[in-house]
Amino acid sequence: MKSQVLTLENVIFFSLGIILVLMVYFTFTSVSQEIKKISIEEGVKKTAEFISYNINKVYRIGNLTNSTIELFIPIPEKICGEIYRISQENGIIFLHLLKYNIKSNITLYGIEANLKYRQIPSSKKALIIKYSNGMVEIK
């Protein structure tokens, strides 16, 4: 009888240990996925802000000096290991992370800007922002 109680006790403790390990694993996985999602969204947002800042800078300098200006800016090839593209829909320029379907608006503060091509992939690794005669073109 004593050995049966001891065996049952060991089985129960082993089962509780397995349950605790699984709970910790699933909790960690859930938290890890949430942190990854937040970091991806922040990466998209910060990259869009960087592009917006440079578009606005080119526009201001070109407008003040009344000249044609081209600015070459490097952009990250990937955000959190994923490729993205810059596209324009209905006059609004977006940064779109393809795998997670996350879009971020590139704020232009009333500046008229157009993409030379329908989309610019991040694999291009750089943008050329050109100001000429009151218009900004991104290629």
Q: pLDDT tens for residues 17-64?
A: 999 999 999 999 999 999 988 989 999 999 999 999 999 999 999 999
Please tell me the pTM assigned to this model: 0.81
Residue linked to tokens 């802000």? 49
Kindly list the distances between the CA atom of residue 86 and the CA atoms of 32, 59, 74, 92, 113, in Å, as whole numbers in the listed order: 28, 19, 14, 11, 13
Condensed to tens digits (0 to 9), the pLDDT of residues 78-97 reads: 988 889 999 988 888 999 98
